[in-house]
Structure 1
Amino acid sequence: MIWTAKLIKHNNENRIAIQFEKNDRLIQRIKEFDDARWSAQKMVWHLPDTIENRIRFKIAPQSNSLPSSEGVEQIEKFKQWLRSKRYSQSTVVTYSEALKSFMVFYREKPIADITNEDVIVYNNEHILKNNLSASYQNQIVNAIKLFFQTIRETKMMVDKIHRPKRSKVLPNVLSKEEVKLILEAHSNIKHKMMLCLMYSCGLRCGELLALKPLNIDSKRNIILLKNSKGKKDRIVPLSPKILNMLRDYYILYKPKTFLFEGQIIGNQYDARSLQLILKQAISKVKIQKPVTLHWLRHSYATHLLESGTDLRYIQELLGHNSSKTTEIYTHVSTKSIQQIKSPFDDL
């Protein structure tokens, strides 16, 4: 493989741009890397700027962007521990990169000497100083806590590492009319089918793309979701209307391995292509909101609640561990709120 690699900034992210002569085999190879993306603006494929990718593509690391040799070694051990615990690859990458940021900050300090006070200093001098988000800070805290739980000789008191106060952000929800417009925007049966299935079953993007024909149980009118988030299986009801659409889709496309396959038979459909399908639908129906695929799942849950479905059933259908996660939809349901009369009307 003949390629050139260089560091770039893309959407305020540090990335590694990989350039090579256009070739289907090479494109397929680069897609196998975690979080590989194509930039139409820069006309390059690009990957996360990680230690592993810098080494893999022979980019000399900047001394101030890497932890100490001890830190690099410990991060690698941490990754091996996460994998042995069967954490997903995306979680392994997220936690190891979060820990790397902390280790870079304390590259001059032996890991055994790092204390809880150092976490506070890092939060103040790095997170807050650079206006980084509370969710990113929470990610760092999760990684630090998990890492120091695996280290024997340490001054860190894991139970006393504090988290940032969580912001109460409500889920974004579309009206039924808006959902209908989006789902009917595409004439392409595959594009229409994917969006309809996501909304009708409240699926996450990854759950939809991992579906296989054998997961569809047409006799029991259910879909079996295997190994979803949190390594859990669950079942969701399949509406007769969706089942009829699936039969038409299956006759036309005859998927082999995955229910929705990309240009190469047997390969999973690309998540970025699915996002583009939604973007095109929104543009066609002229909805101005910044809709994402996950909005369809939020809308599904909220519409179920507004139609009278018990919150416990919604929790099961969404695959939430805690009922508190599902309860957030009670704050965006308008069924009760619309019945409240404003005192302004009596003036």
Structure 2
Amino acid sequence: MPKNQEDIKFVNQLKYSRWNPEYRLWEVPDYPGNLDLIRDHFNDRIGQVIYHESFDISVSNETYTIGRNEVLAFKTRTRRLRIIFGFDNELRKLIKTFPYSSWDSKNKWWNLPYSEVYLNKIQELSADRGLGFRYEEEPDGEPGIKRVTPFDLANYRVCPEAMVLNLKELRYSTSTLKTYTSLFEEFINYYHTYEINAISEQQIIAFLRFLVMDRKVSASYQNQAINAIKFYYERVLGGQRKFYFIDRPKKERTLPTVLNTEETLALFDAAINIKHKCAIMLAYSAGLRLGEITNLKISDIDRERMQIRVVSGKGKKDRVTKLAHNFLNTLDEYLESYRPKEFLFEGEKGHQYSVSSLQTVIKEISARAGIKKRVTMHTLRHTFGTHSLEGGTDLRYIQNMMGHESSKTTEIYTHVTTKGFDQIKSPLDLLNLKKKD
């Protein structure tokens, strides 16, 4: 359409409309009523309405929402990769160079064999092009029902602004803000025909049962959903506080995955990129959380005291942890190569390195190292706690360095450590078993 501010303002008001600079056109979701609104606005200025077959980007009956500047790499159970993204000619050219790659015109994605080399190249080019990169795997077993997305519901409701403002005023972390708003949106769109303040106690409990029975979410996910709902009705509504009884799930008592020293060294050796090696060595040597690594600034490194200052860690608490002597050479090599300006790890245009990028990096490196365990950045934090305990560090010091509010959290590492196991004998080994002739 010709450039006209009134028309542009109208199209912008249509939910999830967007401008496509590549083809210089506006894209609007085919929600019920949208076409009627467009016809009413443009009237006889519409030259022609052409109907095309619509499609969803779906995998195993799952609909994926891809951001306008995002690339999704999806690994299937059959070890195939599906690469989904908006039109980008450079990315398309790269994928076409991979052997046995093919374009699925029906589903609008690229198909290719699973390869870490392919993933690395796609991720690197995505970063160079200023595109976000997301990696997901098809889960084993029978999946639960997927949550409603804006593409499933014409009148999809976003989190009330009052709740967002309240979270910000109380200085909740960006991560918590995203989690609470996302979970509350799932809740209010489950009851999308009801006024938010009219949803009853019984309906809240029914929704929480739905999460467990039909969505098959984890206990942690359910707990966060409860917290998000309670926050709105108790903190946002204030005087209109709702009281309701909800059975909270018991916290799953699982022991953390921990690497042994050989696996830890193999992980470092498998890190080819100095930036990636620096990040995983830092996570292990200082016991940092994933978000703490990406938030870390160069000024937080205190070489004189051999300390790392963690500013506003979990629970908005500052703390200090150990700066390892053996880490300094790797750190200096990285700083010399990348020359970050503010944050220790920076992505495009000096912004913080993304959490999702680090998650992908550790997965690739652990596979390259041949480690069979499921390794995440948090695994390195658990390994720090366990190895520190085995090295003779007092639990109290470990608690302070890791930023645990309760000593009970730190005590989990006493159940993981193998120190002294060689002195323990199984009752079976004490029996004088007769050998068969």
Structure 1 length as normaliser, TM-score?
0.79
Shift of 1:336: 4.4
> What is the CA deviation profile of residues 65-92 of structure 1, one whole-angstrom value per residue up to 9, with x for unaligned ones?
x35xxxx5x7321111111111122212
Residue matched to 1:327: 411
The CA distance in 2 between the partners of 1:278 and 1:139, in whole Å, is: 26
Amino acid at match of 2:233: F
Quote the Cα distance in structure 1 between the aligned partners of 2:189 and 2:169: 25
Q: In the alignment, which of 373, 379, 384 is matched to residue 295 of structure 1?
A: 379
Deviations, residues 266-294 of structure 1 (Å, cap 9, x unaligned): 23233333334323322332112221111
- In structure 1, the residue matched to 2:214 is 129
1:27-66 counterparts in 2 under 5 A?
Answer: 37-38=133-134, 61-63=153-155, 66=156
| Residues 118 and 283 (structure 1), Cα distance of their counterparts in 2 relative to 1, 3 Å cut | closer
CA contact (8 A) 2:180 2:224 kept: yes
| Contact 1:112–1:155 (CA under 8 A) maintained in structure 2 | no
Task: Report the CA distance between 1:21 and its aligned residue.
Answer: 4.3
Retained in 1: the 8 A contact 2:133–2:357?
no
1:316 to 400, 405, 424: 400
Aligned partner of 2:65 in structure 1 is 15
- Residue 287 of structure 1 aligns with an amino acid whose one-letter code is I
Matched, 1:169 2:187: no
C-alpha change, 1:14 and 1:157, in structure 2 (3 Å) is farther
- Closer, same or farther in 2 for the Cα pair 1:242/1:283, shift >3 Å? same
CA offsets, 1:186-214, max 9 Å, x none?
Answer: 34332222211111111122222222222
SS of the residue corresponding to residue 364 of structure 2 reads helix
Cα-to-partner distance string for 1:72-121 (whole Å, 9 max, x where unaligned):
5x732111111111112221221122122222333444444444333322
- Residue 235 of structure 1 corresponds to which residue in structure 2? 320
User: 1:334 Cα deviation (Å)?
Assistant: 1.9
Is the contact made by 1:5 and 1:16 (CA closer than 8 Å) also made in structure 2? Answer: no
What residue in structure 2 maps to residue 118 of structure 1? 203
Q: Which of 242, 253, 274 lines up with 1:156 in the alignment?
A: 242
Q: 1:273 to 1:95 in 2, by over 3 A?
A: closer
Shift of 1:155: 7.0
Moved more, 4-13 or 176-185: 4-13
Pick which of 277-286 and 293-302 moved more: 277-286
Query: Any conservation in 2 of the 1:199–1:296 contact (CA below 8 Å)?
Result: yes
What is the CA-CA distance between 1:133 and the residue it aligns to? Answer: 2.4
Cα distance in 1, alignment partners of residues 417 and 411 from structure 2: 10
Asked whether the equivalents of residues 148 and 189 of structure 2 are also in contact (C-alpha less than 8 Å), the reply is: no
| Inter-partner Cα distance in structure 2 for 1:156 and 1:77 | 17
Confirm whether residue 2 of structure 1 aligns to residue 20 of structure 2: yes
Q: Which of 138, 141, 146 pairs up with 2:226?
A: 141
Higher helix proportion (structure 1 or 2): 1
> Quick check: 1:278 aligned with 2:296?
no
Q: Distance in 2 between matches of 1:214 and 1:308?
A: 30
SS at match of 1:15: coil
Deviates more, 1:289-298 or 1:273-282: 273-282
Which deviates more, 228-237 or 110-119?
Answer: 110-119
Q: Which runs of 5+ in 2 are unaligned?
A: 1-18, 22-26, 30-55, 69-85, 92-125, 138-146, 432-437
Cα distance in structure 2, aligned partners of 1:294 and 1:30: 27
Label 1:5 to 1:174 Cα distance change in 2 as closer, same or farther (>3 A). farther
User: Does the aligned pair in 2 maintain the 1:173–1:295 contact within 8 Å?
Assistant: yes
Equivalent position to 1:216, from 274, 291, 301: 301
Distance (whole Å) between structure 1 residues aligned to residue 136 and residue 381 of structure 2: 28
Residue 344 of structure 2 is matched in structure 1 by 259
Q: 1:216 to 1:346 in 2, by over 3 A?
A: same
Paired with 2:343 and 2:153, the residues of 1 have a C-alpha distance of 39
Q: Which runs of 5+ in 1 are unaligned?
A: 42-48
1:157-182 Cα distance to aligned partner (Å, 9 max, x none): 15x43311221121111111110110
Q: Secondary structure at the match of 2:311?
A: strand
- 2:388 alignment partner AA: L
**C-alpha displacement of 1:143:** 0.9
1:134-160: CA deviation from partner (whole Å, max 9, x where unpaired): 2221111111111111224547315x4
Using the TM superposition, name which of 310-319 and 189-198 deviates more: 189-198
Among 307, 329, 337, the alignment partner of 2:391 is: 307
Alignment identity in percent? 40
Residues 1:50 and 1:228: Cα distance change in structure 2 (over 3 Å):
farther
Highest Rg: 1 or 2?
2
Q: Is the 8 A contact 1:112 1:154 kept in 2?
A: no
Q: 1:93 and 1:253, CA in 2 relative to 1: closer, same or farther beyond 3 A?
A: closer
**Match of residue 342, structure 1, among 426, 430, 436:** 426
Native 8 Å contact 1:50 1:97 kept in 2: no
Choose the corresponding residue for 1:244, options 318, 324, 329: 329
